[in-house]
Amino acid sequence: MTLVKWTPRPRSLFDDMDNMISNVFEKDWNFPVQSKSNWSPAVDVNESDSSFMLTADIPGLTKKEVNVNVSNNVLSISGERKIEDEKESDNFHYRERLYGSFSRTFNLPETVKEEDISASFKNGILSITLPKHEIELPKEREIKIN
């Protein structure tokens, strides 16, 4: 049997107060819904022998609304999910979908060929392929002794 040392996360009084307030007010349909403006798409990064593959879930946007840039070994993904036209008469009982702009940046390893990076966007999923340089092993050479 392996024992794992448990290290509790330090808690503050503010964490407990936030949880209590959230439990009371956020789950009640009688209170107005406040929408959060900051959101960030979930991202997976996978590595194979020849490349890295970055996959981001960005539902509700089109490929024209998503920007992918690379500069100085930094990959950035940005965009904005706009809130649908709200009318004064709209009375939401509950709202979980997040709106607003987002931006994610990733430091790329030196092995990535920046000029060959490609991206595709289908069904709300952004896929970015980051090919690697061929790894060249140093050649061995014999040095003559004088």
Domains of the chain, earliest start first: 35-83+95-131 (2.60.40.790)
pLDDT at site 3: 61
Residue-level pLDDT at 32: 45
pLDDT of the residue at 124: 93
pLDDT for res 85: 67
Model pLDDT, residue 88? 61
Output the pLDDT for position 106: 93
* Whole-prediction pTM: 0.65
CA distance to 33, 43, 60, 76, per residue, from 94 (Å) = 6, 26, 19, 32
Positions in the chain whose pLDDT score sits under 50: 29-37
- Which 3 state secondary structure label does DSSP give 115? helix
